[in-house]
Structure 1
């Protein structure tokens, strides 16, 4: 994270296009493990029925960052020429400096696992460890990851479905992140007004996502909440596809579109990452699912073509298609987990098939484990 901040600051001082490409490449390198690592650690601290709220807090810190980024971009617009630097350079310098500051704080404040937390008593650490064994089994976090572990995870079709869900969510999500300022500007706003108008949809998504997370945790259910957010997002994109001469209606449609990337995606990520039990399986599964999904960043950059402005038929059509795919893969994942739970119920009902030990390092492979739906 600290290196990410340093490289972001470096973007503000590049002198050539080649220099910008180099810094962007290494930013990708330093950022690649950030999200999988954070989701993995959150999952090591919280049980599945309590996890979505925490996942949403973390995930939507990016939503708040987008909202504040719009405000910062608006402010740096007035820094054009200050000390000889363009406004966009100041934007990278300021945001990179903040990232470095937070990274230093995180080094001292964040513990890897409950049993290592210095701010807990020994009794509390042991209680947390026993509590989380129900989720992860007795496998120690110190056990090394072997190549055979990776192969076993790759053979699990449920984990592959999780990767497809994330990828299908992420293509339209990146489209919104990359192109929403361009879309908003096409409604007739100036550059500075565009930055301001990018804030309200993200702010609304932040608060709504928290409500959805609380409801989902309370009901201990994920699937229908994902479908609801996808349907709302598809409705918003459908409005953008069909309405072209009413800027206020089009801007209002953006408030519906954000349900997909910023309200539905945290539920999906929490669902398939927390359904993978055990330290090694969850570490590998989370990295695989989120890493595969990042391919969407490449795909999305080619969808909103300048020659199609302001209608963007290709971009909107592909976004609807991928949100629909996300609903399809989520449905497949739901039935896969439901059928496996039913199979294990039948095994547990037969005394001869009961396991000798429960959750002994097997995580979600143990017959007593039930996938959250």
Structure 2
């Protein structure tokens, strides 16, 4: 078969459904429990955890911050290791590791113990998110990608909503078998992570060329239509890294993702705290943290379908940024004025805008990269730099700002939405210019061929 040729006897629609069934469900489950383990501390902080571990002042924020140090630093190395050890081995190992660490977090007795477990949790989770996106990008072509990226991304939103429901139930377990309710959160979710990790070893799909459940023609079709004919065993060279960082798009992409991650993490970690400040009790707080994430999930799925049908990403990212700006404006204008319904609407709009735009940004960026080298470096770089926004996010809503209704945090979110809008426009202009230049070069080559005949 010629390079790039499409096997004629393969039903492509049936093949895509087959891939969906084998690739997506396990990755969804993996990141659902991963993100749940990462942000469940936000629910625990509304319980007795601060008093039990003496989390006074900014200690809560520092505990959240520590997670991101290894999480950001090890994302690119983790992608390279996943390429070496294969996805089913690496991803399952990561999830089992952070499940064990989560069990340990249930029994910490001091602030220092919490810091230590949060650090190792970040180290164990570093490979999950960029590694999964990296893997998905090799299974689908551009027009198929957004819906699949969004399905995977929606595990984050589902975790936010499910975490609130689960925490509202676990809140009633305080004192059961001598454990506090916040300990039960970490304990139960840690056990769930280990079970998912064991299943992942057997169920995670590796790269298309290695899939034993595909025929040779099916493998050839996937490689041809996704234009990923590079051998997986090709080693990432220093020259690959150097060439990657010569491209201005990679910096604009990182800025885009950085600015959208800040509101994502700010509300993943502090939505219960913000809602509690509206005057709700613990269980009411957990329940009221669910609708913003449910609304975000709905918008994400709608935008994914429309984006794939239209074949464009840029306008949908701008729409997400606009929702964040409107939501923040509502919070700045009405927070503290007893307009609870308007404030709650602002929380919903910020959550919807951030999560829906984030899914599209990741797809837009990764599908503009080609081959194992670019995507292993690119997914780690963009998501790594972007996730450093979590460091900013954990200091957006401090206890000391509560009397001022967290105005500083909302102004940070407003600034990030504006910077994100500008970087998205700049990225779109560069992509348009490069594609235009590519078409012009192709036309010139075609004319030269015609003249030579």
Please indicate, yes or no, whether the TM-score normalized by the shorter chain is above 0.5: yes
- Asked if 2 retains the 8 angstrom alpha-carbon contact of 1:237 and 1:320, the reply is yes
Shift of 1:307: 2.8
- Asked if 2 retains the 8 angstrom alpha-carbon contact of 1:230 and 1:259, the reply is no
The equivalences for 1:1-373 within 5 A come to: 1-133=95-227, 136=228, 138-244=229-335, 245=337, 246-309=339-402, 311-351=405-445
Alignment-derived partner of residue 50 in structure 2 = none
- Asked if 1 retains the 8 angstrom alpha-carbon contact of 2:160 and 2:290, the reply is yes
Shift of 1:129: 2.4
Alignment-derived partner of residue 362 in structure 1 = none
Shift of 1:260: 2.3
Shift of 1:115: 2.0
Larger CA deviation: 149-158 vs 296-305: 296-305
Q: Residues of 2 paired with 1:146 and 1:354: CA distance?
A: 35
Normalised by the size of structure 2, how large is the TM-score?
0.75
> Residues 45 and 300 from structure 1, CA distance in 2 versus in 1: closer, same or farther, beyond 3 angstroms?
same
Match of 2:137, SS state, is helix
Shift of 1:100: 1.3
Aligned-residue CA RMSD in angstroms?
Answer: 1.5
> Residues 354 and 147 from structure 1, CA distance in 2 versus in 1: closer, same or farther, beyond 3 angstroms?
farther
Shift of 1:354: 8.2
Match of 1:44, SS state, is coil
Aligned residues: 352
Deviations 1:187-235 (A, max 9, x none): 1110110000000110111122101000001111000000011101210
Q: Residues of 2 paired with 1:128 and 1:159: CA distance?
A: 26
Q: Residues of 2 paired with 1:354 and 1:90: CA distance?
A: 71
- Asked if 1 retains the 8 angstrom alpha-carbon contact of 2:320 and 2:353, the reply is yes
Deviations 1:222-256 (A, max 9, x none): 00000011101210110000013211111122121
> Residues 319 and 353 from structure 1, CA distance in 2 versus in 1: closer, same or farther, beyond 3 angstroms?
farther
Deviations 1:154-198 (A, max 9, x none): 111111111111101111221111211111111111011000000
Runs of at least 4 residues off by over 6 Å: 352-355
Q: Residues of 1 paired with 2:184 and 2:265: CA distance?
A: 24
Shift of 1:353: 9.1
> Residues 154 and 353 from structure 1, CA distance in 2 versus in 1: closer, same or farther, beyond 3 angstroms?
farther
Deviations 1:302-356 (A, max 9, x none): 221223325211000110110111111000000000001111111111027989x
Alignment-derived partner of residue 364 in structure 1 = none
Q: Residues of 1 paired with 2:165 and 2:194: CA distance?
A: 20
- Asked if 2 retains the 8 angstrom alpha-carbon contact of 1:180 and 1:198, the reply is yes
Q: Residues of 1 paired with 2:197 and 2:260: CA distance?
A: 28
Q: Residues of 2 paired with 1:46 and 1:22: CA distance?
A: 39
Q: Residues of 2 paired with 1:354 and 1:342: CA distance?
A: 19
- Asked if 2 retains the 8 angstrom alpha-carbon contact of 1:39 and 1:55, the reply is yes
Q: Residues of 2 paired with 1:129 and 1:352: CA distance?
A: 26
> Residues 15 and 48 from structure 1, CA distance in 2 versus in 1: closer, same or farther, beyond 3 angstroms?
same
Q: Residues of 1 paired with 2:442 and 2:448: CA distance?
A: 6
